[in-house]
Structure formats: C-alpha cells, structure tokens
Amino acid sequence: MITLSRPRGTGRTLVVAALTVSALFAAFGGWRYLQARDDSSVAYATSRDAALAAGRTRIAALSTLDAAHPDATLRGWLDASTGPLRDELRRAGAGKPTTSARGEVTDAAVTQLDDRSGTAKLIATVRVRLTPAGGAATDDRKRLEAALERTEAGWKVKALSAVPVATP
C-alpha cells in the first residue's frame, strides 16, 4: 500500500511567511501614517475643507431672511460676517421685510486659500426660496463669490458679491 505524506515543515513555513508579510505591511502602514501626519499638504487640505464648510454655512445664513423674526435674522447675519460686510449689515439692519427668503448652498468651491494670512475666496451657487406674505413661494438661483477671513470664532464672510451669469 502506498501512503502519501506531506513534506515536513510546509505548514510551518506558510505560517511564518504569512506573519512576515503581515509584519512588513503593518510597518509600511505605520511609516506612511507618520509621513502623512507631518505632511503640510494634509494641514492645507484640512484648512481648505474647514473654510469650505464654514463658507457654505455662512453664505446660506446671509441668503436667509425670516420676515417674522427680522431681529433674529440680523443676529444670524452678524454672526456669519466680519469686517466691512458686518459693519454694513449692522448699519442697514434687516428692516421690516414682507417676504421671507431661505438660502441653500447647492454647490461651492474654494478658489483661493492663504492659510498663513487666514483668507480664502469661495464661489457658490445658492437656491433662494422666496415666500411673500400671503403668496406662493418661488425659487431663485444665484451665483456668489465670498471673501472669507479666519477669526477667533472660525471662518466668516468679509465680502459677498454676485457673479454675473454669461449668456450665449
């Protein structure tokens, strides 16, 4: 009778090889993590993402007006702005509006970022739902450019302007 037997040590060799490959992979992953942790491009990307998120929120707030609560609207505008824009909004106030507006940023991108000086520029498309007192709501689309400044309270809008839409 013929018996087949496995060569000795094959299972052990496979286990050692698998452990060696796993250890090398873990070491390589740790080395890449340490490299990335100190990488300035990661810090720049984090700052860009923070400016973008804050810019979207601030532009939405500045595109919103609650006719029933103009004082709360003004507080929201002042919280979202800084510098000359904030001064202008404080002087003008919210008035006594008869139409409410709710702004929603549908898309946005950071076009410039100077992390050292704490400034950024952002472009955004905004859908504004206008609801007149006793009337039907309508949607309006706007393209805006915002200049942002990093303050102690985070990124705020220091200038906001409409971007003209080119027609063919």
Residues 120-128: what's their mean pLDDT? 97
Residue 114 CA, chain-centre distance (Å), reads 16
Give pTM, 2 decimals.
Answer: 0.75
Distance CA 154, CA 66 (A): 24
Lowest mean pLDDT among 40-44, 88-92, 151-155: 40-44
Residue 2 has pLDDT above 70, yes or no: no
Residue 126 CA, chain-centre distance (Å), reads 14
With bands split at pLDDT 50, 70 and 90, how would you rate the model's confidence at 18? confident
Distance CA 109, CA 69 (A): 31
CATH superfamily of 12-162: VirB8 protein (3.10.450.230)
Distance CA 63, CA 127 (A): 9
Domain range annotation of the chain: 12-162
Cβ(68)–Cβ(101) under 8 Å? no
Q: Please tell me what DSSP assigns to residue 81.
A: B
Between CA 123 and CA 135, with CA 129 as vertex, the angle to 5 degrees is 155
Query: How high is the mean pLDDT of the chain?
Result: 89
